[in-house]
Structure 1
């Protein structure tokens, strides 16, 4: 029986998926793919857009609504429904894939389904992908960490004080889920204009932005698909 495969799509640009991930999608009978409601009521799916660019048949893509809310219960309920549907198709002998942007094992809530399947004895496989901050570094021509430099990746639940402590410990800092700490990053810029700030938004999409001018960054309200790389310029 085929394992249920969790395929990492990469940060947004269709060509940044791995060959192994692409082959898994091409061989799949059904692919579960999240979509989220926009403010105007439309249902959007960057993951589906990536797969359609890769010529994955639209009728192989099973979209499911994933609420974008800090209330985790709604998302977990959606994942439980995907779990049940994927398991049923798997028992019917179908090749099942479940996708996520970036890497499915790196700040990806869809890993909840993987763990639930694994706990129940269902064979699963996880295919690695390119995290957004690695793609961002390449876009900006950055050497994110060299030789014995340290790199710390944190979610957006942080403060200017924590960022300062990490930088002073000679670590480059990557902040994911940046929309959660807009004010603290702005405060850090005011306190430490001597740091290097590299801001990225919608990496790998037509809406991509890369800004390293602190005055421009300080004027921004960070959207969901954004991250920042902060370094001390003496490193």
Structure 2
């Protein structure tokens, strides 16, 4: 009896919000997939990545929603790894049946993405995986505002507000330009770091980029309020 040929997983970055920013390669993979895997932080809550990719998903394609708890300062690593492993088990089962699966992720799959953890589990098990880059929110922010991320000999640091305030402060102090992601995890802490360094007028925050609810602000008071989940900050010390 001929052995069943194993399938393949594509990890696809759908970009920051605008469906037109998906690459041609990503669209082709989505259109030809047997299964679309849509990650969610909470079961029953709509996936933003799925909404972005929706124009390219065929009606007959199977949709599988998987719970991926958010990585945070308070999250137990052991609990997260257990969930990642269980999700990898489910994906591996699909691949063992010869299915082509697409895992959707916001921005780029290699920038603060839970996909990367599942990818490592599957690679360790000998599964075939291909990752297709997407546009990260900070690159989209820079292009959207015609604001260079770096020029000349300037450095660029990238940090997430899921890290400790001391780690965030160290990155801000070390670089001329700093991208801050996952801002909603501790926006008030970021506001304090900026005020302590007299950088209140040296940042821009964009929320829900490419969506109807998009907002751009340079007012530090907005950082001290509730910040939308899809928010990214760019700090430029030189003006």
Mapped pair 1:159 → 2:165: yes
Q: Secondary structure at the match of 2:202?
A: strand
Mapped pair 1:33 → 2:38: yes
Listed one character per residue, the Cα deviations across residues 90-133 of structure 1 (whole Å, up to 9, x for unaligned) are 12111122121111111112211110111111111111111111
Mapped pair 1:173 → 2:173: no
TM-score in terms of structure 1 length? 0.85
What is the root-mean-square deviation in Å for CA atoms of aligned residues? Answer: 2.5
Aligned length: 229
Q: Secondary structure at the match of 2:186?
A: helix
TM-fit CA distance, 1:166? 5.0
Which of 103, 111, 123 does residue 106 from structure 1 map onto? 111
Query: Residue 67 of structure 1 corresponds to which residue in structure 2?
Result: 69
Change over 3 Å in CA distance of 1:159–1:208 after alignment to 2: same
Any residues of structure 2 matched to 1:186-225 within 5 Å, and which? 186-191=191-196, 192-193=198-199, 195-214=201-220, 216-225=221-230
Change over 3 Å in CA distance of 1:5–1:172 after alignment to 2: same
Query: Residue 81 of structure 1 corresponds to which residue in structure 2?
Result: 86
Q: Is the 8 A contact 1:32 1:99 kept in 2?
A: yes
Change over 3 Å in CA distance of 1:204–1:158 after alignment to 2: farther
Q: Is the 8 A contact 1:32 1:82 kept in 2?
A: no
Which segments of 5 or more consecutive residues in structure 2 lack a partner in the other structure? 1-5
Any residues of structure 2 matched to 1:5-44 within 5 Å, and which? 5-37=10-42, 43-44=45-46
Distance 2:100 2:236 in 1: 44
Distance 1:13 1:88 in 2: 32
Which segments of 5 or more consecutive residues in structure 1 lack a partner in the other structure? none
